[in-house]
Amino acid sequence: MRVLGIESSCDETGVAVYDTEKGLLAHRLFSQIAMHAEYGGVVPELASRDHIRKTLPLIEEVLADTALTTKDIDAIAYTAGPGLAGALLVGAAIGRSLAWALDIPALAINHMEGHLLSPLLEEPAPEFPFVSLLVSGGHTLLVDVKGVGQYELLGESIDDAVGEAFDKTAKLLGMDYPGGPYLAAKAEQGIADRFVFPRPMTNRPGLDFSFSGLKTFAMNTWLDTEQTDQDKADIALAFQTAVVETLAIKCKRALKRTGHKRLVVAGGVSANKALRNKLDAMKGVEVFYPRQAFCSDNGAMIAFAGAMRHQAMKHQDVPSFTVRPRWPLNELSPP
């Protein structure tokens, strides 16, 4: 069975085809640099929400990559939330109408479920159950994953998402926005332990996070220095170390609480090297990551989640659609 997946919840447009026997057949992401020439003009970050112009060409490209036609597709999965209503509606409208025209089922997929399941696209894939740490610009979640659709939220950020804290701290230190990856690169030149940042919310029980205070701490520290390049690197390192250790402490707690031995890390921040080193060093735990390309938003994870759900469910297809800009994971049920 082949499922076409469409992701359009935020700034990225992603399309992919997943085959339940052969695995991922093709995936494409709208990238402002690579497709610059093809689509013409510089695309401002948020105008890239204009998914309408990108989704159909991407579907055509993915089909061309796989030498398939729409007749070879058995179901269409689209991101129905959470995300920006206008952006979601594009993928939902195109996905649903195409499915209707082809007389095949359409599946409304939760974006976070896509991220949670994305490490299952890799070899070896983690077996259920596992704890998932989802860390991106928009989300910071710890989830107990018992199976497809069986998710229990263990903890989340009460203010800034971890990727957002990286981006904003980078900005405070004079880097371009969004500068999370630059901050991480700068940290490599830092001198350890010159500054020590707090580990927010680790001295009390619970699995929630708070990262808003760290950026203020970084700002105050920065203002107290002579603002040299070395100061910048040292603050970047102190900030990153605080974030990474906080995440690791909470992961350990979540594993202890659930009794699971597998940890899955997904989302844009899962690409961070310091975080991977720290988590990989944990004893008695197997840690899984999606490949670099699938750490951020993509169509492959939606096609995959759609395939998992379609395979498992007795599908009753209703020819209508809606999107849910807020859609908590614990409201999902197994297929």
Residues that bind another protein (CB under 8 A): 10, 44-47, 49-50, 83-86, 137-138, 156-161, 164, 168, 171-172, 177, 212, 215-216, 219, 223, 325-326
Q: Closest Cα partner for 30 from 14, 16, 52, 43? A: 14
- Is 180 annotated in some ligand binding site? yes
Long-range contacts of 224-230 (CB under 8 A, 24+ apart): 230/189, 230/191
Task: In angstroms, give the least distance from the CB of 309 to another protein.
Answer: 25
- Is 297 annotated in some ligand binding site? yes
- Is 134 annotated in some ligand binding site? yes
Task: In angstroms, give the least distance from the CB of 3 to another protein.
Answer: 27
Task: In angstroms, give the least distance from the CB of 51 to another protein.
Answer: 10
Q: Residues 26, 64: contact at Cβ < 8 Å?
A: no
Which residues does 94 contact at the CB level (< 8 Å), separation at least 6? 6, 55, 56, 59, 78
Q: Report the distance separating Cα 234 and Cα 242, nearest Å.
A: 12
- Is 111 annotated in some ligand binding site? yes
Of 25 and 90, the one with the shorter C-beta distance to another protein is 90
Of 183 and 279, the one with the shorter C-beta distance to another protein is 183
Which residue type does 310 have? H
Q: Residues 8, 51: contact at Cβ < 8 Å?
A: yes
- Is 167 annotated in some ligand binding site? yes
Q: Report the distance separating Cα 323 and Cα 202, nearest Å.
A: 36
- Is 136 annotated in some ligand binding site? yes
Task: In angstroms, give the least distance from the CB of 266 to another protein.
Answer: 16
Q: Report the distance separating Cα 154 and Cα 133, nearest Å.
A: 10
Q: Report the distance separating Cα 246 and Cα 202, nearest Å.
A: 7
- Is 310 annotated in some ligand binding site? no
Task: In angstroms, give the least distance from the CB of 243 to another protein.
Answer: 15
Q: Report the distance separating Cα 84 and Cα 108, nearest Å.
A: 15
Task: In angstroms, give the least distance from the CB of 94 to another protein.
Answer: 16
Of 19 and 160, the one with the shorter C-beta distance to another protein is 160
Of 43 and 148, the one with the shorter C-beta distance to another protein is 43
Of 49 and 260, the one with the shorter C-beta distance to another protein is 49
Q: Report the distance separating Cα 168 and Cα 175, nearest Å.
A: 9
Of 96 and 215, the one with the shorter C-beta distance to another protein is 215
Q: Closest Cα partner for 315 from 123, 110, 104, 115? A: 104
Q: Report the distance separating Cα 311 and Cα 142, nearest Å.
A: 26
Task: In angstroms, give the least distance from the CB of 308 to another protein.
Answer: 26
- Is 137 annotated in some ligand binding site? yes
Of 10 and 308, the one with the shorter C-beta distance to another protein is 10
Residues that constitute the known binding site: 111, 115, 134-138, 167, 180, 272, 297
Residues that constitute the known binding site for substrate: 134-138, 167, 180, 272
Residues that constitute the known binding site for Fe cation: 111, 115, 297
